[in-house]
Amino acid sequence: MKKIIISIIVICWLFTTSILSVNAYDVPQDQGQDEISGDAIPRADIYVDDDNIEGPWDGTYSHPYRYIGDAINASEEGGVIFVFRGIYNEEIFLGNSIKLIAQERATTIIYGAANVGEGAILDGFTITTGRDGYGVSVGSDGTVVNNCIKDIQAFDGIGSAVGIQHWYYNVNITGNTITNIKSGPYGIAAGIRPEVEGAGHFVFVGCISDSIIADNTIKDVSGYWASLGIWINFDRNITIINNTAENIWGGDSIGIFCTKDKWDYGLGYNLKVADNFIKKVGKGIHCDNCIVGDILRNVIQFTVYGVFLEDSTYFKIIDNTFKWNLKHHATFVFTHHLIDDDESFVPGELPESYEQIRLKKDLSNLWLRNYWGRPRVLPKTILGKLRVYRNWDEDPLGEVDLNNYDLLPRVIDPNGGQQDEQQQDIDLQDYEVSDEWVNTVEQFVSYILQG
C-alpha cells in the first residue's frame, strides 16, 4: 500500500513540474508591461535592451542582452528575439530562421546595416547607416517587413546607395518605408535593388526569383547616373504589388524597373506589377528583357514615359491609369544585333524581314482598358521602335517605326470616384497567361502579317 501511495505522489509531482515548466516557457514569470505604452511585452526566447549597461546579461526578460549581435549568437534555430526601444550601434547578421522583433519602429533604431537570410525575419526597426551604402541586405528565404530605412548615403560619399538590396530566391519585402536615399558622384540610388559587386556597381550577385515586393513606400531617391524606386534582376515568378514610388529623380529615373541581365542567359519570366502608385519619376514602369507579364491597375502620374517595354513580350497592360505625364504615356523598343557572319547582314542597310519579326513580337503585348488622361473612345496609339545594331556597337544602324494600340481604352477615370459598371476590376487570377491566349495572339499576328 505504501508503495502505491509513493508511486502516486511521484507521478503527481512529475506532472505538476511539467505543467509549471510549460507555463514558465510560454508565459515567463518575470514578464511585465511596457512602462510607456502599458502594452504587454510579448513572449520571446531572448530579450535585448541597450539600457542594461552593467549586466548581468543572459537574454532573459530580467537580464536582457545589451547588444543584438550577442542575442543572435546565443539564439537557437527558429528562435524569437525581442528588442526593446533604444539605439543600437552595430551591424547585424541574421539567419538560422531567427525572428528579430522591435518593440516600436520609430524608437528602436539600428545605426548600421542589417543582413537577413536563411529563413530569418527582420520586423519593425528603424535602420539608418549614414554612409555605409545600404540599409538592409536580404537573401534566400529572408523576410524584411514593417521597417523604416532612411537617410542612406553612398559609402564614404562616393558611389551608390540603396535602401534594401536583394538576391537569390524566396525573398519577402513587405510593408517597409524607404526614404532619403542619396548616391555620391558617379553612383546610382535605389529604394530596392539587386545586390551587386564591383566598382561599376552593375555586376549582379544573383537573380531573384519566387519573391514578393508588396506594400512598400519609397520616396525621395536621388542618384547621379540613375535613380530607381524598385529595381529587380530576376529569373522567374516575381510579384510587385501595392507599392508607392514617388519623387525619384536624378539620371535615368524609374519607378519600377524589371530586367534580366542580358549578359546572363535567358529572360525574366512571369512578372506581375499590379496596384502600384508611381509619381514624379522619369519612367513609371520599365521592363527590359522579360517574357510573360502582367501590368495591372497601376496609377502613374507626372512622368515622361508611363510604361516603357524594352525587348519584352507576352505582356498584358490592362486597367492602368496614366495622368499628367509629360511626353508619352507608353512606348516600347525592340533591338536586334546583326553579326558580321550573319547571312542577312548587309552593312548600312536594314533587312526587310526584321520589321515583320519585331512586329510579331510587339503584337504579343496586349493593351486593354487603360485610362490615358482623358476620356477616349477611339484606340490609343502606343509608339514603338525597332532598332538594328551592327554587332554590339553603341549606335544603331537605323530604326523602324512600330505602333501598337489600346483598342478599347477607358472612357471613365477609374480613380476619379466614378463607377463604371461595364469595366469592373478583375482578380489577378483572371489575367493568368494561358496557352490558349498565346496561341490566339500568334494566330492574330500571322493573319496581320499575311494580309
**pLDDT at site 445:** 44
Do the beta carbons of residue 41 and residue 31 sit within 8 Å? Answer: yes
**pLDDT at site 162:** 95
**pLDDT at site 403:** 81
Q: What is the mean pLDDT of residues 349-376?
A: 71
Confidence of residue 25 (pLDDT cuts 50, 70, 90): very low
Residue 341: how many other CB atoms lie within 10 Å: 6
Task: Give the model confidence (pLDDT) of 257-302 as tens digits.
Answer: 999 865 555 678 899 999 999 999 999 999 998 888 999 999 999 9
Tell which wins on pLDDT, 272 or 376. Answer: 272
For residue 69, pLDDT over 60 is answered with yes
CA distance 22 to 444: 67
Mean pLDDT for the chain overall: 80
For residue 352, pLDDT over 50 is answered with yes
CA distance 153 to 45: 35
**Cα torsion 176, 296, 319, 283: sign:** positive
Residues above pLDDT 90, as percent of the chain: 49
Q: How many CA atoms lie within 13 A of 49 on its CB side?
A: 18
CA distance 266 to 330: 25
**pLDDT at site 269:** 87
Task: Give the model confidence (pLDDT) of 300-351 as tens digits.
Answer: 999 999 999 988 888 999 999 999 888 778 998 877 666 555 555 555 555 5
Tell which wins on pLDDT, 89 or 399. Answer: 89
CA distance 113 to 83: 16
CA distance 441 to 448: 11
Which helix H or strand E contains 448, and what residues bound it?
A: helix 435-450
Nearest of 427, 123, 118 to residue 297 by alpha carbon: 427
For residue 416, pLDDT over 80 is answered with no
Q: What residues form DSSP beta bridges with 390?
A: 338
For residue 49, pLDDT over 60 is answered with yes
Confidence of residue 388 (pLDDT cuts 50, 70, 90): confident
Q: What is the mean pLDDT of residues 232-250?
A: 94
Residue 288: how many other CB atoms lie within 10 Å: 19
Which range, 65-69, 200-204, 416-420, is most confident?
A: 65-69
